[in-house]
Amino acid sequence: MKVYLDNGATTMVDKDVVKTMIPYFTQEYGNASSLHYLGISAQKVLTDARKRFSEYINAFPEEIIFTSGGTESDNIAILGVVKYFRLQGESKIHIITSNIEHPAVLNTCKALEDEGVEVTYLGVDSDGMISLKELEAAIKPYTKLITIMHANNEIGTLQPIKEIGEIAKKNKILFHTDAVQSFTKIKIDVKELNIDLISFSAHKIHGPKGVGALFVRKGTSVKQLTYGGSHEYKKRPGTENVSGIIGFVKAMELSRQEDIDKMVMLRDRLIDGLLKIPHSNLNGHKTQRLCNNANIGFAFVEGEGILMHLSDRGICVSTGSACSSKSLEPSHVLKAIGLRHEVIHGAIRFTLSRYTTKKDIDYTIKHVSKIIKKLRKFSTLKEGVKYDTVEYEDHHEHEIYQE
Ligand code: PLP
Contact partners, residue 26, CB within 8 Å, separation at least 6: none
* 382 pLDDT more than 50: no
Residue with the bigger pLDDT between 398 and 16: it is: 16
pLDDT reported for residue 328: 66
Tell how strand 3-4 and strand 315-316 pair up: parallel
CB count in 10 Å sphere of residue 29 = 13
Distance CA 322, CA 326 (A): 8
Residue 181's identity, in one-letter code, is Q
Q: Atom 5 in ligand 1: which residue has the minimum CA distance?
A: 153
* Contact predicate 346/375, CB 8 Å: no
Q: 114: buried, middle or exposed (CB in 10 Å: 19+, 13-18, 0-12)?
A: exposed
CB count in 10 Å sphere of residue 166 = 15
* Contact predicate 293/8, CB 8 Å: yes
Q: Transcribe 279-299 into DSSP letters.
A: TEEEES-SSSB-TTEEEEEET
What distance in angstroms lies between residue 174's CA and the mean position of ligand 1's atoms?
Answer: 21
- Is the minimum distance from the CB of 101 to ligand 1 under 6 angstroms? no
SS (H, E, C) 113-154: HHCCCEEEEECCCCCCCCCHHHHHHHCCCCEEEEECCCECCC
Section 233-246 average pLDDT: 96
Give the tens place of pLDDT for each residue, 51-89.
999 999 999 999 999 999 999 999 999 999 999 999 999
- Is the minimum distance from the CB of 71 to ligand 1 under 6 angstroms? yes
pLDDT reported for residue 329: 79
Nearest to 387 by CA among 344, 352, 342, 351: 342
Distance CA 108, CA 103 (A): 8
Give the tens place of pLDDT for each residue, 163-193.
999 999 999 999 999 999 999 999 999 999 9
Q: Which atom of ligand 1 is nearest to the CA of 149?
A: 3
Q: Atom 10 in ligand 1: which residue has the minimum CA distance?
A: 70
Domains of the chain plus CATH, in order, are 3-8+256-402 (3.90.1150.10), 15-254 (3.40.640.10)
Task: Name the average pLDDT for the chain.
Answer: 92
What distance in angstroms lies between residue 180's CA and the mean position of ligand 1's atoms?
Answer: 6
Among 204, 245, 248, residue to substitute to test ligand 1 (most atoms within 8 Å of Cβ) = 204
pLDDT reported for residue 397: 33
What distance in angstroms lies between residue 165's CA and the mean position of ligand 1's atoms?
Answer: 21
* 400 pLDDT more than 80: no
Residue with the bigger pLDDT between 275 and 320: it is: 275
Among 72, 180, 198, 236, residue to substitute to test ligand 1 (most atoms within 8 Å of Cβ) = 180
Residue 365's identity, in one-letter code, is I
Q: Which atom of ligand 1 is nearest to the CA of 322?
A: 8
Instruction: Please report which helix (H) or strand (E) contains residue 53, including its range.
Output: helix 37-56
What distance in angstroms lies between residue 400's CA and the mean position of ligand 1's atoms?
Answer: 36
pLDDT reported for residue 236: 95
Q: Clarify whether 323 is annotated catalytic.
A: yes
Q: pTM score, two decimals?
A: 0.93
Q: Express as a percent the part of the chain with pLDDT over 90.
A: 88
* 321 pLDDT more than 70: no
Apex 287 CA angle, 262 and 160, nearest 5: 115
- Is the minimum distance from the CB of 212 to ligand 1 under 6 angstroms? yes
Beta-bridge partner residues of 4: 316
Q: Transcribe 318-351 into DSSP letters.
A: BSS-TTTTTS-SPPHHHHHTT--HHHHTTEEEEE
Sign of CA dihedral 217, 221, 226, 229: positive
What distance in angstroms lies between residue 391's CA and the mean position of ligand 1's atoms?
Answer: 42
Distance CA 334, CA 328 (A): 13
Distance CA 8, CA 316 (A): 11
